[in-house]
Structure 1
Amino acid sequence: MAKRPDAAQTAFGPMVIAAAEQSYPEAQRIVRDELAVRFLPPGMRFGVRLCKWSFIRYGLIRAAEKKAPGMWGSVLCRKRYADDKVAEAIAAGIDQVVILGAGLDTRAYRLGVPAGAAAFEVDLPVNIAYKRERLRDIFGAEPERVALVPVDFQTDDLATALENSGLRFERPLMVVWEAVTQYLTEDGFRSTLRALSRAAVGSQLIFTYVRADFLAGTNFYGAEALYQDMKLKYDVWHFGIAPEDVGGLLGEYGWAEREQVGSREYMTRFIEPSRRDLSVSELERFVHAEKR
């Protein structure tokens, strides 16, 4: 398989966090994803299974927190938020789920296919190739009703790629765009929104973004080491948004902001009910929008 670029390598970290979460008692889990560990490479699967011992689990969390305080909790909460929004959309009758930058995401197999929805997983070709291998190993074949769509958001025609894979823009969509936008340029972000502007009225869109002041280096939110890695060393984070600019940006492409959540909402909705001692970072936020 081709060498994975730096941006593609980042697909593994969040799934390690989701997989390690399954070692907690069910009542304390923020995310419930029994498939997560099965999508990881063998070495990572072994490491995750060691998390059944609490001292290893806590050591892993402490190591992550040194680089980016609150990001472990933030990843868990954003995954739970996305799970809840996808489940709500499917329950409301939306039967097409588009996952942009799918990486090792398992929602199509946990939430979409079991409910009879069609899913479209979009990612870089190298990530799609790896996902295809894992699906064949896990399920014996690529599950029906899931289309794997290789796309470079910076250069490819997203709308055409989705239509060629069977998506019908005239019917409402549920679009999940988690932990991707910071890897794009502003042009790449806008071209994706332009493609999604064709979505039918009533379609739902959720996406995360990193705050613009973090990428500008004016506010590190306690995560200067993360800034050094993602912005300076590897130069893979390019685009950020200020919270107050989200509504206007979406409006240019026919979307209306319905909700924007971050650390405060995550703490109230997910962390406090779990009775876990976890902090949540301020530097990433989730947006829920609806097609007007």
Structure 2
Amino acid sequence: MANPAAQTALGPMIVVAADQYESVPLLHDPWAAQLLPATGRFVAALTRWSPVRSALKSATDRKISGGWASFLCRKRYIDDRLREDIAKGVDAVVILGAGYDTRAFRLPELAGIPLCEVDLPSNTARKAAALHRTFGRIPPAVTLLPVDFETDDLAEELQCAGFGPQRRTFYVWEAVTQYLTEPAVRQTLAYLAQAEPGSRLAFTFVRDDFLAGWHTYGADGARRQFVVKRGLWRFGLQPDDVAPLLAEYGWREVDQVGPAEYADRYLRPAGRDAAVSEIERAVYAERIS
């Protein structure tokens, strides 16, 4: 039976594909629609008409207030940090939970850098099919690695694929941690504790007070669907708990961002006044020991 979490990879990339039709996209992504399955490509094509985009955005924001802008801003933030570190020198990139993301193909700075996309087996198979359909092959610098974070040995799988911790690596862990149990999150962090000093990590997390129901931040619909009914979102953190958790595994929090930072850095410069969800934040960290 397919992992239910594998079915959640589609929505955020439809948002990115739709944003390409805005006058000033928050991130340039010519491949967002092409790598989607047929249904996703059809929906993305419809969003070229602004009434369709508006309707889809409204539906998204009714479930998660500010969710539409949040999906876009978190990707832009991670892209920016990745670009900065590539300019300083990165030996490899590992994307943990890649889904339909096109980061490996949309960022020219990544050309020639070994990159590994880790995801659930079902998502990896779909991604491979999409790459063959779009490019005729899996690009030679990209490795697709099927891994279940709950049951597989991430360290062993990455080592066998040639992406062991001996190289200075930029790790991307976007929109994944909430789907894991705490033991699985800690198991991944234990692997990252072996990373070469100077490695970098960009990841997102959902607020623990949202998962617990203490504050819903205008995302009651999402909590009912993903937490209460389906039990898909299981792990969360409070913002102040991130740095101590990372420190346990030899990482230092460098930056943590949320709605205020996204508005200042991305939305206002693009002439947008959209709200950004409060339930998710992004973190950038460095391996120090």
TM-score w.r.t. the length of structure 2 is: 0.97
CA–CA separation in structure 1 for the residues paired with 2:81 and 2:125: 27
Q: CA deviation at 1:170?
A: 1.8
1:256 matches 2:230 = no
CA–CA separation in structure 2 for the residues paired with 1:182 and 1:200: 26
Gaps of 5+ in 2: none
CA contact (8 A) 1:97 1:120 kept: yes
CA–CA separation in structure 2 for the residues paired with 1:242 and 1:153: 22
What residue in structure 1 maps to residue 198 of structure 2? 202
Specify the SS of the correspondent of 2:127.
helix
The count of corresponding residues between Structure 1 and Structure 2 is 288
Q: What does 1:56-71 align with in structure 2 at a 5 Å threshold?
A: 56-71=52-67
What residue in structure 1 maps to residue 184 of structure 2? 188
CA–CA separation in structure 1 for the residues paired with 2:191 and 2:27: 30
CA contact (8 A) 1:158 1:195 kept: yes
CA contact (8 A) 1:174 1:205 kept: yes
Specify the SS of the correspondent of 2:98.
coil
CA–CA separation in structure 2 for the residues paired with 1:255 and 1:114: 24
The letter of the residue matching 2:19 is E
CA contact (8 A) 1:90 1:115 kept: no
Q: What does 1:157-176 align with in structure 2 at a 5 Å threshold?
A: 157-176=153-172
Q: What does 1:56-205 align with in structure 2 at a 5 Å threshold?
A: 56-111=52-107, 114-205=110-201
What residue in structure 1 maps to residue 222 of structure 2? 226
Specify the SS of the correspondent of 1:36.
coil
Q: CA deviation at 1:111?
A: 2.3
The letter of the residue matching 1:225 is G
CA contact (8 A) 1:113 1:119 kept: no
Task: Please report the RMSD computed on the Cα atoms of aligned residues, expressed in angstroms.
Answer: 1.2
What residue in structure 2 maps to residue 237 of structure 1? 233
What residue in structure 2 maps to residue 41 of structure 1? 37
1:212 matches 2:171 = no
Q: CA deviation at 1:277?
A: 3.1
Q: CA deviation at 1:114?
A: 4.7
The letter of the residue matching 2:223 is Y
Q: CA deviation at 1:168?
A: 3.8
CA–CA separation in structure 2 for the residues paired with 1:184 and 1:177: 12
CA–CA separation in structure 1 for the residues paired with 2:284 and 2:108: 19
1:21 matches 2:41 = no
What residue in structure 1 maps to residue 6 of structure 2? 8
Q: CA deviation at 1:34?
A: 0.9
CA contact (8 A) 2:91 2:114 kept: yes
Q: CA deviation at 1:198?
A: 1.0
CA–CA separation in structure 1 for the residues paired with 2:266 and 2:85: 20
TM-score w.r.t. the length of structure 1 is: 0.96
CA–CA separation in structure 2 for the residues paired with 1:112 and 1:189: 31
Specify the SS of the correspondent of 2:245.
helix
CA–CA separation in structure 1 for the residues paired with 2:108 and 2:142: 9
Q: Percent sequence identity over matched residues?
A: 50
CA contact (8 A) 1:121 1:149 kept: yes
CA–CA separation in structure 2 for the residues paired with 1:121 and 1:51: 28
The letter of the residue matching 2:148 is D
CA–CA separation in structure 2 for the residues paired with 1:13 and 1:146: 23
CA–CA separation in structure 1 for the residues paired with 2:101 and 2:226: 21
CA–CA separation in structure 1 for the residues paired with 2:37 and 2:283: 31
